[in-house]
Structure 1
Amino acid sequence: MAKTLCGELAKILKGEAEQKNDVCMVTREREDLRVTILGHPTHSEMVISLEFSFEPISNRNETLNLAELVLLQEEVNPFLQAIKKSDEIKVSAIHNHWLFEKPRLIYVHLESVQDPVEFAKEVARALKKAGIK
Protein backbone atom coordinates (compact mmCIF):
# COMPACT_ATOMS: atom_id res chain seq x y z
CA MET A 1 0.00 0.00 0.00
CA ALA A 2 1.33 3.43 -0.91
CA LYS A 3 2.50 5.65 1.94
CA THR A 4 0.44 8.52 0.55
CA LEU A 5 -2.76 6.45 0.80
CA CYS A 6 -1.84 5.37 4.33
CA GLY A 7 -1.36 9.02 5.26
CA GLU A 8 -4.73 9.92 3.73
CA LEU A 9 -6.45 7.19 5.77
CA ALA A 10 -4.77 8.46 8.94
CA LYS A 11 -5.96 11.99 8.20
CA ILE A 12 -9.57 10.83 7.71
CA LEU A 13 -9.45 8.83 10.96
CA LYS A 14 -7.51 11.55 12.84
CA GLY A 15 -4.74 9.11 13.73
CA GLU A 16 -1.08 8.34 13.18
CA ALA A 17 -0.01 6.19 10.23
CA GLU A 18 2.59 3.46 10.28
CA GLN A 19 3.51 1.34 7.28
CA LYS A 20 4.69 -2.23 7.96
CA ASN A 21 5.45 -4.14 4.79
CA ASP A 22 2.24 -3.75 2.75
CA VAL A 23 0.00 -3.13 5.75
CA CYS A 24 -1.10 0.36 6.74
CA MET A 25 -1.70 0.69 10.48
CA VAL A 26 -3.53 3.73 11.87
CA THR A 27 -3.71 4.36 15.60
CA ARG A 28 -5.64 7.07 17.35
CA GLU A 29 -5.62 7.58 21.09
CA ARG A 30 -8.82 8.56 22.86
CA GLU A 31 -7.31 11.55 24.65
CA ASP A 32 -10.74 12.37 26.09
CA LEU A 33 -10.78 9.21 28.23
CA ARG A 34 -9.62 9.22 31.84
CA VAL A 35 -9.46 5.55 32.72
CA THR A 36 -8.54 3.65 35.85
CA ILE A 37 -8.05 -0.09 36.11
CA LEU A 38 -8.05 -1.57 39.60
CA GLY A 39 -8.16 2.01 40.85
CA HIS A 40 -4.96 3.07 39.03
CA PRO A 41 -4.89 5.63 36.19
CA THR A 42 -3.76 4.26 32.83
CA HIS A 43 -2.79 5.84 29.53
CA SER A 44 -1.85 2.52 27.92
CA GLU A 45 -2.49 2.28 24.19
CA MET A 46 -3.92 -1.18 24.93
CA VAL A 47 -6.74 0.57 26.77
CA ILE A 48 -7.48 3.86 25.02
CA SER A 49 -6.65 3.39 21.33
CA LEU A 50 -8.71 3.14 18.18
CA GLU A 51 -6.75 0.82 15.90
CA PHE A 52 -7.14 0.23 12.18
CA SER A 53 -5.35 -1.87 9.58
CA PHE A 54 -5.61 -1.82 5.81
CA GLU A 55 -4.11 -4.70 3.87
CA PRO A 56 -4.02 -5.05 0.07
CA ILE A 57 -5.77 -7.98 -1.57
CA SER A 58 -4.19 -9.55 -4.65
CA ASN A 59 -5.41 -8.21 -7.98
CA ARG A 60 -8.03 -5.88 -6.45
CA ASN A 61 -8.37 -2.19 -5.71
CA GLU A 62 -9.93 -3.02 -2.36
CA THR A 63 -8.28 -3.82 0.94
CA LEU A 64 -9.00 -5.98 3.95
CA ASN A 65 -10.02 -3.37 6.51
CA LEU A 66 -9.98 -4.18 10.21
CA ALA A 67 -10.68 -2.06 13.27
CA GLU A 68 -10.78 -2.37 17.04
CA LEU A 69 -12.43 0.64 18.66
CA VAL A 70 -12.66 1.55 22.32
CA LEU A 71 -16.00 3.13 23.18
CA LEU A 72 -17.66 4.27 26.33
CA GLN A 73 -20.71 2.20 27.14
CA GLU A 74 -23.06 5.07 26.19
CA GLU A 75 -21.32 5.52 22.80
CA VAL A 76 -21.92 1.95 21.65
CA ASN A 77 -25.55 2.18 20.47
CA PRO A 78 -25.19 5.48 18.57
CA PHE A 79 -22.05 4.12 16.90
CA LEU A 80 -23.72 0.82 15.94
CA GLN A 81 -26.81 2.58 14.58
CA ALA A 82 -24.58 4.71 12.36
CA ILE A 83 -22.24 1.93 11.19
CA LYS A 84 -25.17 -0.39 10.33
CA LYS A 85 -25.99 2.00 7.47
CA SER A 86 -22.95 0.59 5.67
CA ASP A 87 -23.63 -2.39 3.42
CA GLU A 88 -19.97 -3.41 3.47
CA ILE A 89 -18.81 -3.12 7.09
CA LYS A 90 -19.46 -6.03 9.43
CA VAL A 91 -19.42 -5.75 13.21
CA SER A 92 -17.50 -8.88 14.19
CA ALA A 93 -17.30 -8.48 17.98
CA ILE A 94 -18.52 -6.34 20.86
CA HIS A 95 -16.97 -7.05 24.24
CA ASN A 96 -15.08 -5.73 27.22
CA HIS A 97 -11.34 -6.25 27.80
CA TRP A 98 -10.83 -5.29 31.41
CA LEU A 99 -12.30 -5.93 34.81
CA PHE A 100 -12.69 -3.14 37.37
CA GLU A 101 -12.09 -0.33 34.88
CA LYS A 102 -13.77 3.04 35.22
CA PRO A 103 -15.48 4.25 33.16
CA ARG A 104 -16.86 1.08 31.56
CA LEU A 105 -15.16 0.49 28.20
CA ILE A 106 -16.54 -1.57 25.34
CA TYR A 107 -14.46 -2.69 22.36
CA VAL A 108 -16.07 -2.98 18.93
CA HIS A 109 -14.38 -4.89 16.10
CA LEU A 110 -15.10 -4.14 12.45
CA GLU A 111 -14.13 -5.84 9.21
CA SER A 112 -14.73 -5.29 5.52
CA VAL A 113 -13.32 -5.78 2.07
CA GLN A 114 -13.86 -2.52 0.22
CA ASP A 115 -12.22 0.67 -0.88
CA PRO A 116 -10.13 1.72 2.15
CA VAL A 117 -11.02 5.41 1.82
CA GLU A 118 -14.74 4.57 1.91
CA PHE A 119 -14.22 2.37 4.98
CA ALA A 120 -12.32 5.16 6.75
CA LYS A 121 -14.97 7.76 5.86
CA GLU A 122 -17.85 5.54 7.02
CA VAL A 123 -16.14 4.73 10.32
CA ALA A 124 -15.25 8.41 10.86
CA ARG A 125 -18.90 9.38 10.30
CA ALA A 126 -20.11 6.72 12.74
CA LEU A 127 -17.59 7.84 15.37
CA LYS A 128 -18.82 11.40 14.97
CA LYS A 129 -22.45 10.25 15.40
CA ALA A 130 -21.37 8.58 18.65
CA GLY A 131 -19.92 11.88 19.85
CA ILE A 132 -16.28 11.01 19.26
CA LYS A 133 -14.75 14.02 17.53
Structure 2
Amino acid sequence: MAAAALAPLLAAAPSPARARTAAPATEPVELAQKLIEPVHTTLKDWKAVAKVLGGPGDLKRKVMYHTGFPRRDLRLVSHQVHVKPSLALGSHVSFVRYSDRSTLLMGDVVVTEDELQDFVDALQRHRIGITALHKHLLAQRPDVWWLHVHKHGHDPLELARGIRAAFDETATPRPRSSDTATPDDLDTGAIDDAMGAKGSADDGIYKCIFVRKEKIVDGYMVLPPGLGSTSAFNFQPLGNGRAAVSADCCMVADEVQQVLRLLRKADVKLVELHNHGLRDKPRLFFVHFWAVGDAARLARALRPVVRATNVKPAG
Protein backbone atom coordinates (compact mmCIF):
# COMPACT_ATOMS: atom_id res chain seq x y z
CA MET A 1 0.00 0.00 0.00
CA ALA A 2 1.30 3.45 -0.89
CA ALA A 3 2.47 5.78 1.86
CA ALA A 4 -0.21 8.30 0.84
CA ALA A 5 -2.92 5.68 1.36
CA LEU A 6 -1.52 4.69 4.76
CA ALA A 7 -1.43 8.24 6.08
CA PRO A 8 -5.15 8.53 7.06
CA LEU A 9 -5.03 5.16 8.87
CA LEU A 10 -1.90 6.08 10.79
CA ALA A 11 -3.40 9.43 11.75
CA ALA A 12 -6.53 7.74 13.09
CA ALA A 13 -4.64 5.14 15.14
CA PRO A 14 -3.60 6.16 18.66
CA SER A 15 0.10 6.51 19.26
CA PRO A 16 1.66 4.06 21.73
CA ALA A 17 1.99 6.90 24.23
CA ARG A 18 -1.62 7.93 23.77
CA ALA A 19 -2.78 4.29 24.09
CA ARG A 20 -0.90 3.91 27.37
CA THR A 21 -2.49 7.09 28.69
CA ALA A 22 -6.00 6.11 27.66
CA ALA A 23 -5.90 2.54 29.02
CA PRO A 24 -7.00 3.30 32.60
CA ALA A 25 -10.22 4.85 31.30
CA THR A 26 -11.25 1.47 29.85
CA GLU A 27 -10.73 -0.44 33.12
CA PRO A 28 -13.90 -1.70 34.82
CA VAL A 29 -15.40 0.91 37.09
CA GLU A 30 -15.87 -1.75 39.81
CA LEU A 31 -12.12 -1.81 40.48
CA ALA A 32 -12.46 1.58 42.12
CA GLN A 33 -15.76 0.75 43.86
CA LYS A 34 -15.52 0.25 47.60
CA LEU A 35 -16.83 -3.09 48.84
CA ILE A 36 -20.06 -2.97 50.84
CA GLU A 37 -20.08 -4.94 54.09
CA PRO A 38 -23.09 -6.64 55.72
CA VAL A 39 -24.31 -5.24 59.04
CA HIS A 40 -25.68 -6.94 62.13
CA THR A 41 -29.44 -7.15 62.57
CA THR A 42 -31.85 -8.78 65.01
CA LEU A 43 -34.93 -10.95 64.48
CA LYS A 44 -37.02 -7.91 65.41
CA ASP A 45 -35.67 -6.11 62.33
CA TRP A 46 -37.20 -8.81 60.12
CA LYS A 47 -40.67 -9.13 61.68
CA ALA A 48 -42.38 -7.43 58.75
CA VAL A 49 -40.50 -9.64 56.26
CA ALA A 50 -41.52 -12.77 58.22
CA LYS A 51 -45.17 -11.66 58.05
CA VAL A 52 -44.98 -11.26 54.27
CA LEU A 53 -43.25 -14.63 53.82
CA GLY A 54 -45.89 -16.31 55.96
CA GLY A 55 -43.81 -17.97 58.64
CA PRO A 56 -40.84 -17.81 60.99
CA GLY A 57 -37.19 -17.57 60.02
CA ASP A 58 -33.96 -17.52 61.98
CA LEU A 59 -30.90 -15.29 62.13
CA LYS A 60 -27.55 -16.80 61.17
CA ARG A 61 -24.27 -15.23 62.29
CA LYS A 62 -26.19 -12.06 63.27
CA VAL A 63 -26.35 -10.90 59.64
CA MET A 64 -28.38 -13.36 57.55
CA TYR A 65 -32.15 -13.68 57.99
CA HIS A 66 -32.98 -17.17 56.71
CA THR A 67 -36.36 -18.82 56.07
CA GLY A 68 -36.81 -22.43 55.00
CA PHE A 69 -39.68 -23.68 52.81
CA PRO A 70 -39.22 -27.48 52.72
CA ARG A 71 -41.45 -29.16 50.14
CA ARG A 72 -43.34 -31.31 52.63
CA ASP A 73 -46.10 -31.59 50.05
CA LEU A 74 -43.98 -33.72 47.67
CA ARG A 75 -43.57 -37.51 47.80
CA LEU A 76 -40.39 -37.94 45.81
CA VAL A 77 -38.43 -41.12 45.07
CA SER A 78 -34.85 -41.28 43.78
CA HIS A 79 -33.07 -44.62 43.30
CA GLN A 80 -35.76 -46.41 45.34
CA VAL A 81 -35.27 -44.01 48.28
CA HIS A 82 -38.20 -41.95 49.51
CA VAL A 83 -36.48 -38.58 49.84
CA LYS A 84 -37.35 -36.60 52.96
CA PRO A 85 -37.88 -32.85 52.38
CA SER A 86 -34.84 -31.84 54.45
CA LEU A 87 -32.53 -34.18 52.52
CA ALA A 88 -32.87 -32.46 49.14
CA LEU A 89 -36.21 -30.64 48.89
CA GLY A 90 -35.52 -27.67 51.13
CA SER A 91 -36.30 -24.35 49.45
CA HIS A 92 -34.87 -21.43 51.39
CA VAL A 93 -34.35 -17.68 51.04
CA SER A 94 -32.01 -15.32 52.92
CA PHE A 95 -31.97 -11.55 53.38
CA VAL A 96 -28.88 -9.50 54.30
CA ARG A 97 -28.77 -5.80 55.23
CA TYR A 98 -25.75 -3.77 54.06
CA SER A 99 -23.94 -0.69 55.28
CA ASP A 100 -25.40 1.41 52.44
CA ARG A 101 -28.91 0.54 53.73
CA SER A 102 -29.58 -1.81 50.83
CA THR A 103 -30.78 -5.42 51.13
CA LEU A 104 -29.73 -8.56 49.28
CA LEU A 105 -32.11 -11.47 48.65
CA MET A 106 -30.61 -14.83 47.72
CA GLY A 107 -32.21 -18.25 47.72
CA ASP A 108 -32.47 -21.80 46.41
CA VAL A 109 -35.98 -22.92 45.47
CA VAL A 110 -37.43 -26.35 44.62
CA VAL A 111 -40.26 -26.44 42.07
CA THR A 112 -41.95 -29.23 40.17
CA GLU A 113 -41.60 -29.28 36.41
CA ASP A 114 -45.28 -28.28 36.11
CA GLU A 115 -44.65 -25.24 38.36
CA LEU A 116 -41.39 -24.14 36.77
CA GLN A 117 -42.49 -21.75 34.03
CA ASP A 118 -45.12 -19.92 36.13
CA PHE A 119 -42.59 -19.57 38.95
CA VAL A 120 -40.03 -18.08 36.53
CA ASP A 121 -42.64 -15.68 35.12
CA ALA A 122 -43.50 -14.46 38.62
CA LEU A 123 -39.82 -13.89 39.43
CA GLN A 124 -39.39 -11.86 36.27
CA ARG A 125 -42.49 -9.75 36.95
CA HIS A 126 -40.87 -8.75 40.25
CA ARG A 127 -37.39 -8.28 38.72
CA ILE A 128 -35.90 -11.13 40.75
CA GLY A 129 -32.97 -12.66 38.91
CA ILE A 130 -32.37 -16.34 38.20
CA THR A 131 -28.70 -17.31 38.54
CA ALA A 132 -28.95 -21.11 38.18
CA LEU A 133 -31.44 -23.73 37.03
CA HIS A 134 -30.45 -27.33 37.65
CA LYS A 135 -31.09 -30.62 39.46
CA HIS A 136 -29.86 -32.09 42.74
CA LEU A 137 -31.07 -35.67 42.21
CA LEU A 138 -30.95 -38.45 39.60
CA ALA A 139 -33.82 -40.66 38.44
CA GLN A 140 -36.37 -38.67 40.40
CA ARG A 141 -40.15 -39.06 40.41
CA PRO A 142 -41.87 -36.62 40.14
CA ASP A 143 -39.54 -34.37 38.14
CA VAL A 144 -38.36 -31.35 40.13
CA TRP A 145 -35.96 -28.48 39.47
CA TRP A 146 -33.88 -26.16 41.65
CA LEU A 147 -33.47 -22.44 40.95
CA HIS A 148 -31.11 -19.96 42.57
CA VAL A 149 -32.65 -16.51 42.89
CA HIS A 150 -31.03 -13.12 43.48
CA LYS A 151 -32.07 -9.49 43.88
CA HIS A 152 -30.42 -6.41 45.38
CA GLY A 153 -32.69 -3.55 46.40
CA HIS A 154 -33.43 -0.93 49.04
CA ASP A 155 -36.83 -2.10 50.32
CA PRO A 156 -36.72 -5.51 52.03
CA LEU A 157 -40.53 -5.69 52.01
CA GLU A 158 -40.58 -5.25 48.24
CA LEU A 159 -38.09 -8.13 47.94
CA ALA A 160 -40.19 -10.27 50.30
CA ARG A 161 -43.41 -9.55 48.44
CA GLY A 162 -41.76 -10.48 45.16
CA ILE A 163 -40.47 -13.84 46.31
CA ARG A 164 -43.76 -14.53 48.14
CA ALA A 165 -45.66 -13.91 44.87
CA ALA A 166 -43.39 -16.42 43.13
CA PHE A 167 -43.94 -19.03 45.86
CA ASP A 168 -47.69 -18.50 45.45
CA GLU A 169 -47.38 -19.89 41.91
CA THR A 170 -46.37 -23.22 43.49
CA ALA A 171 -47.79 -25.60 46.09
CA THR A 172 -44.90 -24.80 48.47
CA PRO A 173 -46.17 -25.00 52.09
CA ARG A 174 -45.78 -22.04 54.41
CA PRO A 175 -42.61 -22.15 56.54
CA ARG A 176 -42.74 -23.60 60.03
CA SER A 177 -40.21 -24.57 62.68
CA SER A 178 -38.19 -27.73 62.06
CA ASP A 179 -37.76 -30.73 64.33
CA THR A 180 -34.18 -30.67 65.64
CA ALA A 181 -34.20 -34.09 67.34
CA THR A 182 -31.07 -36.08 66.41
CA PRO A 183 -31.88 -39.22 64.37
CA ASP A 184 -31.53 -42.19 66.72
CA ASP A 185 -30.75 -44.72 63.97
CA LEU A 186 -27.51 -43.08 62.81
CA ASP A 187 -24.12 -43.16 64.53
CA THR A 188 -23.81 -39.39 64.44
CA GLY A 189 -20.66 -39.46 66.57
CA ALA A 190 -18.92 -41.60 63.95
CA ILE A 191 -20.12 -39.24 61.21
CA ASP A 192 -18.80 -36.22 63.12
CA ASP A 193 -15.43 -37.88 63.70
CA ALA A 194 -15.11 -38.88 60.06
CA MET A 195 -16.20 -35.52 58.63
CA GLY A 196 -14.24 -33.42 61.11
CA ALA A 197 -17.25 -31.30 62.03
CA LYS A 198 -20.12 -31.39 64.50
CA GLY A 199 -23.32 -31.95 62.56
CA SER A 200 -26.87 -30.92 63.38
CA ALA A 201 -30.33 -32.40 62.91
CA ASP A 202 -33.06 -30.97 60.69
CA ASP A 203 -36.40 -32.81 60.40
CA GLY A 204 -34.85 -36.27 60.60
CA ILE A 205 -31.79 -35.48 58.47
CA TYR A 206 -28.26 -35.19 59.86
CA LYS A 207 -26.23 -32.40 58.23
CA CYS A 208 -22.54 -31.50 58.28
CA ILE A 209 -22.05 -27.99 56.92
CA PHE A 210 -18.84 -26.24 55.83
CA VAL A 211 -18.22 -22.70 54.59
CA ARG A 212 -15.47 -21.27 52.41
CA LYS A 213 -12.57 -19.62 54.28
CA GLU A 214 -12.05 -16.88 51.68
CA LYS A 215 -13.92 -13.60 51.57
CA ILE A 216 -16.60 -14.10 48.89
CA VAL A 217 -17.82 -11.05 47.02
CA ASP A 218 -20.90 -10.74 44.80
CA GLY A 219 -20.42 -7.63 42.68
CA TYR A 220 -19.60 -5.01 45.32
CA MET A 221 -21.24 -6.88 48.20
CA VAL A 222 -19.28 -8.98 50.68
CA LEU A 223 -21.29 -12.13 51.33
CA PRO A 224 -21.60 -13.40 54.91
CA PRO A 225 -19.90 -16.78 55.46
CA GLY A 226 -22.14 -19.52 54.13
CA LEU A 227 -24.36 -17.38 51.91
CA GLY A 228 -23.96 -18.88 48.46
CA SER A 229 -20.69 -20.61 49.45
CA THR A 230 -21.66 -23.67 51.51
CA SER A 231 -20.70 -27.33 51.28
CA ALA A 232 -23.53 -29.40 52.79
CA PHE A 233 -23.37 -33.16 53.43
CA ASN A 234 -26.86 -34.45 54.28
CA PHE A 235 -27.47 -37.96 55.70
CA GLN A 236 -30.95 -39.52 55.66
CA PRO A 237 -31.16 -42.67 57.83
CA LEU A 238 -32.33 -45.83 56.06
CA GLY A 239 -32.00 -48.26 58.98
CA ASN A 240 -29.22 -50.56 60.22
CA GLY A 241 -26.68 -47.72 60.15
CA ARG A 242 -27.23 -47.05 56.46
CA ALA A 243 -27.98 -43.65 54.93
CA ALA A 244 -28.76 -41.88 51.70
CA VAL A 245 -26.41 -38.93 51.17
CA SER A 246 -27.43 -35.97 49.05
CA ALA A 247 -24.67 -33.38 49.12
CA ASP A 248 -23.38 -30.22 47.55
CA CYS A 249 -19.67 -29.33 47.53
CA CYS A 250 -18.46 -25.75 46.96
CA MET A 251 -15.17 -25.32 45.08
CA VAL A 252 -12.97 -22.85 43.26
CA ALA A 253 -11.81 -23.76 39.76
CA ASP A 254 -8.47 -25.25 40.84
CA GLU A 255 -10.24 -27.69 43.19
CA VAL A 256 -12.86 -29.05 40.80
CA GLN A 257 -11.07 -31.93 39.09
CA GLN A 258 -9.52 -33.28 42.29
CA VAL A 259 -12.92 -33.26 44.02
CA LEU A 260 -14.58 -35.06 41.11
CA ARG A 261 -11.87 -37.73 41.17
CA LEU A 262 -12.23 -38.20 44.93
CA LEU A 263 -16.01 -38.48 44.68
CA ARG A 264 -15.82 -41.21 42.06
CA LYS A 265 -13.10 -42.96 44.09
CA ALA A 266 -15.62 -42.99 46.95
CA ASP A 267 -18.15 -44.67 44.60
CA VAL A 268 -20.38 -41.59 44.67
CA LYS A 269 -22.81 -40.80 41.83
CA LEU A 270 -22.23 -37.36 40.29
CA VAL A 271 -25.39 -35.37 39.55
CA GLU A 272 -24.49 -31.84 38.43
CA LEU A 273 -21.53 -29.47 38.14
CA HIS A 274 -22.53 -25.83 37.86
CA ASN A 275 -22.42 -22.30 39.31
CA HIS A 276 -24.91 -20.81 41.76
CA GLY A 277 -24.05 -17.16 41.13
CA LEU A 278 -23.20 -14.88 38.22
CA ARG A 279 -20.79 -12.30 39.67
CA ASP A 280 -19.07 -14.07 42.57
CA LYS A 281 -15.37 -13.57 43.26
CA PRO A 282 -13.58 -15.90 43.52
CA ARG A 283 -15.70 -17.79 41.00
CA LEU A 284 -17.40 -20.69 42.77
CA PHE A 285 -18.43 -24.07 41.36
CA PHE A 286 -20.73 -26.64 42.94
CA VAL A 287 -21.06 -30.38 42.47
CA HIS A 288 -24.18 -32.20 43.64
CA PHE A 289 -23.82 -35.90 44.32
CA TRP A 290 -25.65 -38.95 45.70
CA ALA A 291 -24.63 -42.07 47.58
CA VAL A 292 -26.27 -44.87 49.58
CA GLY A 293 -24.48 -47.12 52.07
CA ASP A 294 -23.16 -47.43 55.60
CA ALA A 295 -23.28 -43.88 56.96
CA ALA A 296 -19.98 -43.94 58.85
CA ARG A 297 -18.16 -45.54 55.91
CA LEU A 298 -19.57 -42.93 53.53
CA ALA A 299 -18.50 -40.14 55.88
CA ARG A 300 -14.95 -41.51 55.99
CA ALA A 301 -14.88 -41.74 52.19
CA LEU A 302 -16.07 -38.15 51.88
CA ARG A 303 -13.56 -36.63 54.31
CA PRO A 304 -10.84 -36.34 51.58
CA VAL A 305 -13.32 -34.25 49.58
CA VAL A 306 -13.57 -31.82 52.49
CA ARG A 307 -9.77 -31.72 52.83
CA ALA A 308 -9.42 -30.95 49.11
CA THR A 309 -11.37 -27.69 49.46
CA ASN A 310 -10.62 -24.51 51.40
CA VAL A 311 -13.47 -24.80 53.88
CA LYS A 312 -14.09 -24.84 57.61
CA PRO A 313 -17.00 -26.14 59.74
CA ALA A 314 -19.91 -23.70 59.70
CA GLY A 315 -20.47 -23.89 63.44
Q: TM (normalized to structure 1)? A: 0.83
The structure with the largest alpha-carbon Rg is: 2
Which residue matches 2:298? 119
Determine if contact 1:33/1:48 at 8 Å carries over to the other structure.
Answer: no
The verdict on how the C-alpha distance between 1:14 and 1:47 changes in structure 2, with shifts beyond 3 A counting, is farther
Please, which of 39, 44, 59 is the counterpart of residue 220 of structure 2? 39
Runs of 4+ in structure 1 deviating by more than 3 angstroms, as ranges, are: none
Which residue matches 1:2? 184
Query: Equivalents in 1 of 2:222, 2:305: separation in Å?
Result: 28
Query: Equivalents in 1 of 2:240, 2:185: separation in Å?
Result: 18
> How far 1:10 sits from its partner (Å)?
2.8
Which residue matches 1:55? 236
> How far 1:116 sits from its partner (Å)?
1.1
Q: Which has the higher strand share?
A: 1
Query: Equivalents in 1 of 2:304, 2:288: separation in Å?
Result: 16
> How far 1:122 sits from its partner (Å)?
1.2
| 1:65 counterpart SS class | strand
Query: Equivalents in 2 of 1:25, 1:69: separation in Å?
Result: 13
Determine if contact 2:185/2:237 at 8 Å carries over to the other structure.
Answer: no
Where do residues 93-132 of structure 1 align in structure 2 (5 Å cutoff)? 93-128=272-307, 130-132=308-310
> How far 1:68 sits from its partner (Å)?
0.8
Determine if contact 1:3/1:19 at 8 Å carries over to the other structure.
Answer: no
Q: Does 1:82 align with 2:269?
A: no
Query: Equivalents in 2 of 1:49, 1:28: separation in Å?
Result: 6
Determine if contact 2:186/2:295 at 8 Å carries over to the other structure.
Answer: no
The verdict on how the C-alpha distance between 1:46 and 1:8 changes in structure 2, with shifts beyond 3 A counting, is farther
Listed one character per residue, the Cα deviations across residues 73-118 of structure 1 (whole Å, up to 9, x for unaligned) are 110001111221123x111111100011100100111111111111
Which residue matches 1:73? 253
Query: Equivalents in 1 of 2:193, 2:224: separation in Å?
Result: 22
The verdict on how the C-alpha distance between 1:132 and 1:120 changes in structure 2, with shifts beyond 3 A counting, is farther
Query: Equivalents in 1 of 2:273, 2:186: separation in Å?
Result: 32
Long gaps (5+) in structure 2: 1-182
The verdict on how the C-alpha distance between 1:125 and 1:13 changes in structure 2, with shifts beyond 3 A counting, is same
Determine if contact 2:230/2:250 at 8 Å carries over to the other structure.
Answer: yes
Query: Equivalents in 2 of 1:21, 1:98: separation in Å?
Result: 28
Determine if contact 2:248/2:289 at 8 Å carries over to the other structure.
Answer: yes
Query: Equivalents in 2 of 1:7, 1:61: separation in Å?
Result: 12
> How far 1:42 sits from its partner (Å)?
0.8
Percent of pairs with identical residues: 20
Which residue matches 2:194? 12
| 2:188 counterpart SS class | helix
Determine if contact 2:266/2:302 at 8 Å carries over to the other structure.
Answer: no
